[in-house]
Amino acid sequence: MKPLYLLAASALALTAAACGPKVPPARAALDCPPTQGDLTRTSASPDGKACTYATSDGAEVTLQLVAIQGSVDGTLSTIENHLLAERVEPEEAAAKAAEGKPAAGAAPSEAATAVDKAAREAAEDTKDVDVDIKFSRHGGVVTEGDGGTTRVDLPGIHIVANDNDDTAKVQIGPIKIDAGGESATIRMRRDVRLRGEALNPDKRGLRATFIYTGEDLPDGYRFVGYEAGGPKRGPITVAIVKSKSDGPDDHDLYPDVKRLVRKNGGV
């Protein structure tokens, strides 16, 4: 009977190996439908690695396959640097403002995101308050000076709001916000499971969001950013978004961009 036991054990081992997580094939070309919600395709590259879309209000979306260079975080940082490379220098923007002229490519003040506005209102609410409150077990909330710096340090929530220079840094889970004046930067990056790997203990994919809004953007843009997703080994699907009209809280834009990225990125 021993040979039968050995044969059964071998069969179980082969079955388990066959049912184990498999590495999904790397995407070689994008699936760029003619329309995706409010997005209308305007062009597509012959190799299938890039396509462009536009919304009814003029927002521009470039969907592309991006190879990982070094690390996935380094690749995303390179994309961010490219998006922000043409910003107007603060000194130039200040000089233009002093002359009563908008800086080149300056966006109206209402271009600040709702997050930036909330951060500034929160800082305003703490003005003229001088308290020192600490929680020994679960973090604490500290306000330093008369309308100075407010710090919140709780599990999963970290906030530093400075009323003196109108800045705020917020981290809530994977979301990081850096707001100041009329500009704000929002980043979100988290590990996720790839499509078809719901039972895989390893999260081999990622999703990332980057949004920047400010008066120093060129050519009249109100915000720039990207939505990215895909296997960490690459290539990842990245949608570059630029808009001269509504900001990233425009619900007619971002859900459609996310759908395109998630479908092509397999996350």
d(CA 170, CA 119): 9
Percent of the chain at pLDDT exceeding 70: 66
Residues 34 and 159 in one domain: no
Query: Does residue 98 sit in the same domain as residue 196?
Result: yes
What stretches of the chain show up as alpha helix (H) in DSSP?
2-19, 72-84, 90-98, 114-125, 254-265
Predicted TM-score (pTM) of this structure:
0.73
**136-182 residue pLDDT tens:** 344 555 666 556 788 888 888 888 888 777 888 898 889 999 988 78
Distance CA 133, CA 56 (A): 50
Cβ–Cβ under 8 Å, residues 266 and 24: yes
Domain-embedded: residue 5: no
Q: For a pLDDT cut of 90, what percent of the chain falls above it? A: 45
Residue 263 located in a structural domain: yes
Tell me if 262 is assigned to some domain: yes
**Residue 258 is part of a domain; what is its CATH number?**
3.40.1000
Domain boundary among 157, 181, 205: 181
Q: How many residues does the chain have?
A: 267
In a domain, 17, yes or no: no
Residue located via tokens 């920047």: 212
Q: Domain total for the chain? A: 2
Where a domain ends, among 135, 155, 181?
Answer: 181
Interval 38-43 mean pLDDT: 95
Domain boundary among 147, 181, 215: 181
Please report which confidence band the pLDDT of residue 245 belongs to, taking 50, 70 and 90 as the band edges: confident
> Is residue 202 pLDDT above 60, yes or no?
yes
Do residues 80 and 211 both lie within one domain?
Answer: yes
Domain of residue 168: give its range: 113-181
**What's the pLDDT tens digit per position in 75-91?**
999 999 999 998 876 55
Question: Domain for residue 224, yes or no?
Answer: yes
